[in-house]
Amino acid sequence: MSHNSDRCNKKDAKTGGDSSLQAKIDGILFEPEFSTGVLTNIAVATISISGNDVNGKQISLLVPEDAPVGTLSLDKLSGTMIGYTASYQVDNSSDDGGLAVSGFITIAAHDRDTNHIKGSFSFETAPFVVLDGDPAPTYSITEGAFDVTYLDADTDF
């Protein structure tokens, strides 16, 4: 779930507001250099919200285009592209990271006219890949917050 955040940073790509995302990863604050939001229609109309650093560490959230204000639990169906999804990627050069298997995404505000969405999240991951039966790490993503003005992939690129 990588995105080219350099070209999608709302402030750089368009004149407009800033976007931000931050969270604690296993208790350590992660404040990514790049935070973006993009409305896409790959399988269903989905807003992809992500924050990543120059090494590829990334937190990604997917929410439906019409996500209402409220809290939704993330569970084992997370990652199906049906609704709400969260994931964490350690860096560009490894398979370390995982999909949310428990947690929540809360939408505090969503204005579809201005493409602005704000909320919070917390989740626990299960590994993307388990090789040779080796136990893969899991991660705890807590105290997450996002405030994003998202681009529309159909009209803003």
| DSSP state string for 50-99 | EEE-TT--EEEEEEETTPPSEEEEE-TTTTSSSS-EEEEE--TT---EEE
CA distance 95 to 147: 28
Percent of the chain with pLDDT over 70: 78
CA distance 37 to 73: 21
**Structure-token pair, residue 130:** 């388990």
Q: How far is CA 43 from the centre of its chain?
A: 17
CA distance 139 to 141: 6
Return the SS3 of 8. helix
Provide the mean pLDDT of the chain: 82
Q: Which of 123, 44, 40 has its CA nearest to residue 76?
A: 123
Return the SS3 of 20. strand
| pLDDT tens sequence across 64-110 | 999 999 998 886 554 555 678 899 998 876 678 888 999 999 999 99
Q: In the predicted model, is pLDDT for residue 22 greater than 50?
A: yes
What pLDDT is recorded for position 157?
A: 63
